Amino acid sequence: MLVKKTYLLICFLLFACLSVLRGQQDLAAQLDFLVKNNLPQGSDIGISVYDLTGARSLYTYHGDKLSRPASTMKLLTCITALSQSDSEKPFSTKVWYKGTIEQDILYGNMYVVGGFDPEFDDVAMNALADSIGRFPFSSIQGNIYGDVSMKDSLYWGNGWAWDDNPESFQPYLSPLMYHKGFVKITATPGNVQGEKAIIECEPNSSFYTIRNETVSHKAEAGKFSVSRNWLEGGNEISISGNIAYKRTGEVNMHTSQDFFMHTFMERLRKKGIHVPETYTYSEFIPDVTAVCMAHWETPVQVVLNQLLKESDNLNAEALLYKLGAQYVKKKKGISR
């Protein structure tokens, strides 16, 4: 009986190994066929398929070839991020104050600390304003600072495609991102030929202005276009062209942290809070006097879903900066 069981076990293991080998051979054959028959003549390609669970290579074709990185880098970024012990730590945006609250007045400074949350939207912005609005003051005698120290001030490095500006997929990177750093424009044609289209903007903010040069139901008005005076670093959004049916377009804002802070101040004013006319930037240094007023978190999984399913550039950049920030804190022995 024991010999029979041993024989059956050996047969099972051999069958499993042969199945895996056959599956690997099938994969290699299919990929070889694709490389040979489905690529344009003269294509230059490198392929490496690796089983992370089994820790083995499944297929290579010019696997050591050096190429310019593209969206495949997002896979490496995600794998690296998920391998960290604190990989599930959410993206966080916090508002602090240092000072005292007396007789309906906050005597002190307010700090908005950016955590590079790429999914921070209108709901999040309103949540911060609502939390602050519950504190017992309606006036701030002090300054409001944005803390963007998680990133340096360099927008374009060597070789960066600066002329992607002002596309929405190329926002100005900042630890204080709002609505992914862009504005969505919806143009609806009017009922009368030749009249301007009805323009809706998302999100609403006085940070930008609109120049509506659209024409309804008139082909000679040209193609629908959304842009801004980006060469001058301005935020005047120009919308032009023929609008025969509902059209949408997107344009990035210059710059993302100013878009955030301007709108943040605007929301506080709508809450009836008297704030300074302007804001500035400074790093928040925590101490025993600091009080956290508002806190918004976005789970890493939400960021990853958008990153991998939609190949979102901003989310990939944000995850990379989060990795860097966590590494620096570990190196310095900072726990918070």
Residue pLDDT, tens place only, 209-224? 999 999 999 999 999 9
Q: pLDDT over 90 for what percent of the chain?
A: 69
Confidence of residue 196 (pLDDT cuts 50, 70, 90): very high
Asked if the model's pLDDT at residue 1 lies above 80, the reply is: no
Domain ranges of the chain: 2-67, 69-90+299-336, 93-293
Q: How many whole angstroms separate alpha carbon 63 and alpha carbon 81?
A: 24
Q: Using CA atoms, how far apart are residues 332 and 336, in angstroms rounded to an integer?
A: 11
User: What is the β-pairing status of strands 280-281 and 225-228?
Assistant: unpaired
**What phi and psi values does residue 254 have, to the nearest 5 degrees?**
-115, 110
Q: Please give the mean pLDDT across all residues of the chain.
A: 89
Residue 66: pLDDT band (50, 70, 90) is confident
Looking at residue 157, its pLDDT comes to 74
- Count Cα atoms within 13 angstroms, Cβ side, for 142: 18
Report CA Rg, the chain: 27
Residue 216 DSSP SS3: strand
Residue-level pLDDT at 2: 47
Cis? peptide before 136, omega within 30° of 0: no
CA 188 remoteness from chain centre = 28
Q: Residue 97 above 70 pLDDT?
A: yes
- Average pLDDT for residues 12-36, to the nearest whole number? 66
Given this model, what pLDDT does residue 44 score?
Answer: 82
Query: Looking at residues 173-191, what average pLDDT do you find?
Result: 97
pLDDT score at 47 = 87
Tell me: pLDDT of 15 over 50. no
User: pLDDT value at position 5?
Assistant: 47
Q: What is the DSSP letter of 171?
A: P
Burial classification of residue 90, based on how many CB atoms lie within 10 Å of its CB (0-12 exposed, 13-18 middle, 19 or more buried): middle
One-letter amino acid for residue 80 of the chain:
T
Residue 136 has what DSSP assignment?
A: S
Beta strands in the chain (DSSP E): 47-51, 56-61, 91-102, 105-113, 139-141, 144-147, 182-188, 198-202, 209-216, 225-228, 236-243, 247-252, 280-281, 290-298
Strands (E), 123-246: 139-141, 144-147, 182-188, 198-202, 209-216, 225-228, 236-243
Q: Is the model's pLDDT at 232 over the cut of 60?
A: yes
pLDDT (tens digit, 9 = 90+) per residue, 78-94?
A: 999 999 988 999 999 99
